[in-house]
Structure formats: C-alpha cells, structure tokens
Structure 1
Amino acid sequence: MAASLNPASSPFTQAVVSSMRKLYPESLADKSWDNTGLLLEAPFNATRRQKNSVLLTIDLTKAVADEAIARRDSIVVAYHPIIFRGLKSLTFNDPQQQTLLRLAQEGISVYSPHTAIDATPGGMADWLCDIVTGAITPRIPTENSSSSSFSASTSYTQPIYPAPQPSDPSSSSSTNVPQHTRHTILPSPTPTPEGMEDAGMGRIVTFAAPEPLTAIVDRIARGVGFPGGIPIAIPQGASVDALKIRTVGVCPGSGSGVLMKKSPLPDLLFTGELSHHEALAAIERGSVVVALAHSNTERGYLRAVMREKLAKEVEETWRAQREEWQEKQSQGEAEAEEGWKEVLGDASCEVAVSEADRDPYGIMVRRV
C-alpha cells in the first residue's frame, strides 16, 4: 500500500521514509537511548521543489549539508542521528542546529535509522561478518590511486571504499569462503517483523577451523577500504603471525556494550571503538581487538549494500505512490493543487552516497 500524501512534506520524501521503515524497521532500534526516525520534516513547496534524490551519509556535518543543498536533494538519510537529546531552542549559535535550520529552509528533510540498520538481518553487522569471512570480494586499489595508503606521505588518509560486488553463490570467490556459522549476540525483543527473526545487536562468527589472524586482518583491510592502518591489540607475549582465530564478535560503531557482555569473550573483537580499559580487559582475557575508529566500520556499508537496496525500494514505492495519486485524481478524489501534477509526474529517482562524509580521524603517515 502506498503512503498517503501529506501536503506539509515532500511526496518523494515520504516515499523514502516509507522505504527506509520497510527495509530497516524502526522497531528494531534500541529506543532505550537511540533516536531514530524522521528527525527533520522540511516543508514542501511544489513551486520550488527539490530533485527526487536521496543523499546517504554516516554523519550529517556542515560539509554534507552543503553537498545536499548544492545537489538539491529532497532528503538526507544520516545513519547517526544529528538530534540525540531534546532541544530547548533552534538557533544559529550551535553549528548542528545551524545545519538543521539551513536544510529546513532549503526544503531538505533528515531521516536517521542508526541501530535499526545494526540490528536488521542483512544490515551493517552482517556486512561486517561478510568482510571477516571473505564473502565479499572488493576491488584492490592500484598504487597510483590518489587516495591509496600504500605510499608513505604526509597526506591525511582517506579510505578507498570497495565497489559493490554481485552476490553469486556459484562464483569462485564464494567457494573460497571458510566454513563458518553466525548468530546474533543480543536478539531483538519479540515480536520481530516478519522474516527478521534473526534481528538483534552484534554477531558471532564461528569458523569450523581456526583462521590465521593475519588472513582475517587482510580481509578487514580490503572490506573497509584500506585505511591508513589497522589498530589492533593482542595479548602480551603473543605473536600476530602465530595467532589463530576461531570466533569473531562483530559490532559496528562502539561495540563494548554488546561484545564485552559475551562470556567467554570471542577470540577476536571487531568493532569501531573500545575504551582503553575495555581493550586492556579483552587482551588480558586472551582476546584480540581490532578497533578501526568508530565510523570506519559503518561508512563502507552505504556504498557496498545500502545504496542499491534503497534505490530499488524507493523506485517501487515512488511508482506506487504516484499511481495511487493519479488514480484518485482521475476519479475526482484528489485535488490537482498547483505544482503537484508536475511533481507526481516525475518518475526520476536517485540514491547517492555523500562524497564529503568521512570519519573525523585520519592517519598521517610520516615520511622518514
């Protein structure tokens, strides 16, 4: 069923929000602390409308807002909520509030899914599992790549995000994936949406036979875009080359609240960040930690999975919504308000990933 039209907001924005809620149900988000959903509903002006386009980002910064305004997007889907706590005012004194006011003025809405993407089967946590197991085969950058981290320089490094690869169980890369199982660490409370019984926070990958740590780290580097370095903590007295890994706990972002609750701990904890003391506690218990800086475990998912998935869903939802309105108009049940015929006659649909979005931390490689 297509979403009903609300003249206060962009019809295309409504199609995007409906699609996001279908792909990543808000009921799966951890509402005990998270703030997900439509955070900014910009007023719609049919005579000065935005393009039928979505901009995906992890963080909604001023640079990303500038990008969305220049592109004339209808909506920004920002993984991290720009509003976490209640606001007592909206002024230009605060940079984040300034961003929200500018977007509202331009008619651009903001939707944030956050932990709903973490928990959804096929979401961010499962993508990290695919990286760990080698189920994805990203392209390898050449030494001439402008953002390559292979040559030492004083440049501020940027990850090289892998191009999405088609899923083909019969391909040679799939047959080389080590035998393993995976399960959810913290299952979502029941009832879960139909077909999402495995939803929840974090995943445990268990290999049938222990894997070399070096092989797993190589897969992680390829999968998350060849960052300038891989921060890793190992038990004192251990050797990276000798360590074998049977179980891997994965959690995007800040994973301590999920991974550190496992007993015993997985052999490897793969996440965005752990505190100093949490990492110490993990290696003292014999585990390895790979912590990439918070959003480096998240950003690649937008390109590798989410862009294509959302584009297909939005295209279908937008088509159904337009057909519903046109049918009602032909039967005299919908008024042809100024500009709306042009809006709902536009079948175009685009989902793009921000080029301005990046983790606040990079690595500067000193030339010796």
Structure 2
Amino acid sequence: MKNIYHKLLLLIAGSTQKELPAQIRYLKVENEVLRSKLPKRISVTTQEKNRLVKFGAKLGKAVHEIVTIVAPSTLLRWIRESKKPGGIKPVRKGRPRTKEEIRELIIRMARENDWGYTRIMGELKKLGIKPPSRNTVKNILKENGLDPGPKRGEGTWDEFLKMHAATLWQCDFYSKRVLTLKGWRDLYVLVFLHVDSRQVFITSSTFHPNEEWTTLQVEKFLEHAKSKELSVQTLMHDRDKTFTTKVDATLQAMDIRVVKSAYRSPNTNAFVERFIQTLQQECLDHFVVFGQEHMDYLVHEFVDFYHEEQPHQGKENQLLTSVDQPEAEILSINSVKCHERLGGVLKHYHRQAA
C-alpha cells in the first residue's frame, strides 16, 4: 500500500499544470467508487483525526467538495476544536456506564440471595432507584460469575384464569412434616389467594383438617376478605375430599360460585400452587418445624414479608400493600440497609431515613 502512494506522489510531482486537474478528477471518481464499497459510517482513530485535520485545514472552501470520509461539518468542527486548549475532544461511544454504586448493590443482592435479575430489578425499584435494563443487569451478574436466573424449578401459568382475576380466589391445602412430642406428624394449613392482587390469607395450622375445621376456616377467610375490601365472587379449589358438600354450601350461601378444578390438572389452580411452592422453598424448607406454634409463627412472618417487603414480578415488581420509596436522585450505598426476618432467611433492602 505504501508503494502505491509513493508512486502516486511521484506521478503528481512530475505532472504538468494541465495534467494535474485530470488526475485529481480521476482520483476523486476512484475514491467515490471505493467509498461506495465501504460501510456508510467509518470510525477513525484519534491519530487519523489529527492527520485529517492537519491537511484539511489547508483546503478552505474546497472542504465541502472534497471531504467524504466524514461530513464536511464534522471535519470543520475538528479543525475548530484543534485550535482550542486540549485539542479534539474524544467521543464516548455506546450507552453510559451504570453507576458503580448501583453495580455494587446489584452484585451484593445477588450474592446474599438466590434471586434472579428480575427480582433484583424489583428491589432496586422499591428503593427508588431506576433499574438498568434487563440485559445490563444480566451482564453485570455474568461479569462477576453470578447466575442471572433464579434458583427455582420451572412452573407454568394458566393464562385463562387472568381474565377472572379481579373476583377470583383460589385455595388449596398445604401440609408440612413437623416434629412433636409424639414424633413426626403432618400439620396442615389452608391457603387462599386473590388472583388479581396476589394477596393471601393462610389459616392457623391443624393436625386434623376435617369438615368442621375447614368450614370454620372458610368463614374466617370471608371475614378477612371483607375487611380488606376484596371481592369474592368465585372460589376455585381442587377435588380434595376435605372440600365436602357442606363446605361448598357455606360458600354458595354467600352467593359465591364454587369451581372445582379438573381431574389431574394442577395448572388450573396455578396461582395458589405457585404461592405454596414459594412459601415452601423460600421459608419452610429452611426449618425443622417444632409443633403448631412454631409453624404458625413462621407462616405469619412469611405472609407479612410477602405482603409488605417482597417485590412481585407478576405485578411489575411492585409491593402488594406498601408504597414504593420515591426515586433517589443521589444514591448513597451507606444509606441502603438490609432488614432480615427469621434469622436472615427473608431479606429486603430499604433506604435508611436521613
């Protein structure tokens, strides 16, 4: 390539005054052909910019006719900047880098929990921090050797149920093996979930979930829903034998439609099933439960955490019953505190009041 330019310079130097315009016209046409083969936008280095400025400054008005590698206005701007102290300003490419404080907070949350990137984005939003994009959070985690996906099993949702979410409740039993003075026994709770708001009501535990107990819990549930001003028009449950005719009659007497899920179709009761899985994996699986009082305490703590402190991915990372903190203009890492429940099993982050 150097030999070509060397020969070109010798040719121009030996040319007559009449030959030079013809040679320049040809070179311009050849340059246009070569330029058409290249991408529309060409990046140049700082060194290349300085060379263009050095020779372009002598062109005068011909800049608008000759320059094609960049817009003529761009070269003129470079020439003006080169005359100022500091020279040509470097151009920063791409998106602005995420603030280091936010990067540190993302990494901290990921290391202290088994959360995926969407849950971390929810915690940031709850703190009043505008989260980076999903891909940015995922890349930050990957750069630090952290898995961007949450550690949980796969689950599917029945989208049809969302059409009835505003007035639909689902309920199901959950049993936990607990240690008592009589040895290991099965302890039961009954879980009610409002599909639209995702709010839950969990009964006190029992070793004997018979018809009488279940009917009483249904009545307590209806009182709870009324106190929270949550409509109950439809209640969906599976075909567990404990849901007897008397239990359903209690609901129907209140003008509540009872819908039984299809045989061997747990996905039709997907929302409450998913909540029970969350209760189990995020809380109860971490403990050896000693009797009813211990079980009720653990469940009560989790329900408070679930309603007041946990951002919900299915609700655009909003809290269920508390208001998000206002967006922070300036973030101080020292102002972000971690609140723990149940010895650190349940954590949430909040900004400490000034």
TM-score between the two structures when normalised by the length of structure 2: 0.26
Question: Relative contact order (C-alpha < 8 Å, sep 6+): which is higher?
Answer: 1
- Which structure has the larger Rg over C-alpha atoms? 2
- The structure with the greater share of residues assigned to helix is 2
